[in-house]
Amino acid sequence: MTGVFDDPESISFVAGGIRLEDSSPCLFVKTADISQLRRHDTLTIGDDSFFVDRITPDDGGCCYIRLRRGSPAPQNNARMRRYDEGT
């Protein structure tokens, strides 16, 4: 699959000096390229492992795959998929 990978680190400060950190990596792809991809499938991007947290609805032929780091909790139907940068 080909897509645009974004791994932002978002740091916010709110009243009182509390620091909130949020990092939600995502992959922007053509919806047709991921028809078999499901929640909790595992993706490898570079040397890092992620799993699919959710897939946003199709919007003009594209969508976002929201990712989480690591592996999901073991499930009977977990499948392994690989995404390589540049292919």
pLDDT tens-digit readout, 12-53: 666 676 665 556 899 999 999 999 999 999 999 888 889 999
Residue 16 tokens, joined:
């009182």
Task: Report pLDDT for 10.
Answer: 55
Sign of CA dihedral 50, 1, 58, 80: negative
Across the chain, what does the average pLDDT equal?
Answer: 80
Percent helix, strand and coil across the chain, each to the nearest 5? 5, 45, 50
Task: Report pLDDT for 62.
Answer: 97
pLDDT of 73 higher than 70:
yes
Residue 53 tokens, joined:
């947290």
Task: Report pLDDT for 39.
Answer: 93
